[in-house]
Amino acid sequence: MEVENRYKKGLWTEEEDRILLDYVRVHGRGKWNRISKMTGLQRCGKSCRLRWLNYLSPTVKRGGFSEEEEDLIIRLHNLLGNRWSLIAGRVPGRTDNQVKNHWNTHLCKKLGIKNPNKKVVGTSKKTHSALLHRVEDSQFQTLSSTDSLDSKLCHNGDDHDHNKFMEVMESENLFTPGTAVSNNGESQWMMSKQYFAELSPLFQVDYQPILESPGFLEFLDGFPLDLTWQSF
DNA sequence: AAGTCAATCAACCGCCCAGGG
DNA sequence: TCCCTGGGCGGTTGATTGACT
């Protein structure tokens, strides 16, 4: 209780900003919980971190969103759902908080989404794995159309994983026709892999490199705006 | 000018995870 | 193995601001 009352809440003052900036200049980022002890700033570590990341950091871009930024956010949101930090990672200078706020206040209205606060599939822990694989699919979409399905499956060059993957896919009958969701020739594959990902934790991937990989934005350009995660 | 309401967005909350002791 | 701490995330809140009456 005493700890809770020790820290100030609410908007930051210029003086508080100056203290935090000075601290980061001298000690660098991190160890946010030490700031109140070392500087006397009556703010908890979390508050300091957030203030730095969302406002004081020189990499943060202020001002309104451009049309290009909005377009990118919409496409990324279609693909990733409410994964704000990931989306923000692809929008230079913007924080997850900025992107989230802009989505909820402007873009939802623009797109005619009535309940912006409704949780979307892909946000929950349960579907996290599935989301990973949907992003991972993007890598395959950038391959030429002549590539065989087999070579796409063997994406990481690991035959063992590939064999396990094929085993599960076949045993779960995940190649069943009739699950296509768009005219895109690759959509059958996307669906299948999504189902697979729901069922198996076999293929844990770090998707940040995928988001940063060459060709990802090009893939995004070809991703239908109306094809959302929820529609699967 | 004063009051009301809605929009905006900075900040907080609660939860989770990873790493270290 | 357990606990603690730091850091990160998405959802939510609430103070501020501006439009409207």
Per-residue pLDDT of chain A (232 residues), as tens digits, is 344 456 888 888 888 888 888 888 888 887 888 888 888 888 888 889 888 888 888 888 888 888 888 888 888 887 777 888 888 888 888 988 898 889 888 887 777 765 544 443 333 333 333 333 443 443 333 222 222 232 333 333 333 443 444 444 444 443 322 222 333 333 323 333 343 333 333 333 344 455 555 555 555 555 444 333 333 2
pLDDT at res. A212: 55
Query: A199-206 contacts: CB < 8 A, separation 24 or more?
Result: A199/A168, A199/A172, A200/A129, A200/A168, A201/A129, A202/A161, A202/A164, A202/A165, A202/A168, A203/A132, A203/A133, A203/A136, A203/A161, A203/A165, A204/A129, A204/A132, A205/A132, A205/A133, A205/A136
Distance A68 CA to B12 C1' (A): 30
CA-nearest of A131, A118, A50 to A83 is A131
Closest residue (Cα, C1') to B15: A125
pLDDT at res. A118: 44
Q: What is the residue type of A182?
A: S
Cβ of A1 < 7 Å from strand B?
no
Report protein residues in contact with nucleic acid strand C, where contact means CB under 7 Å: A 10-11, 30-34, 45-46, 49, 53, 82-86, 96-97, 100-101, 104, 117, 119-120, 123
Task: Decide: pTM greater than 0.95.
Answer: no
Tally of CA atoms within 13 A in the half-sphere of A232 that contains its CB? 23
Q: What is the residue type of A88?
A: A
Q: Which nucleotide lies at the shortest CA–C1' distance from A101?
A: B9
Strand B contact nucleotides, protein CB < 7 Å: 7-14, 16-17
Distance A211 CA to C12 C1' (A): 28
Cβ of A205 < 7 Å from strand B?
no
Q: Which of chain A's residues 136-165 bind strand B, using a 7 Å CB cutoff? A: none
The tokens of A132 are what?
Answer: 């990973």
Q: Which nucleotide lies at the shortest CA–C1' distance from A13?
A: B10
Cβ of A51 < 7 Å from strand B?
yes
Distance A95 CA to B1 C1' (A): 40
CA-nearest of A119, A118, A124, A76 to A96 is A76
Cβ of A84 < 7 Å from strand B?
no
pLDDT at res. A75: 83
Residues A45 and A30: their CA atoms lie apart, in Å, by: 9
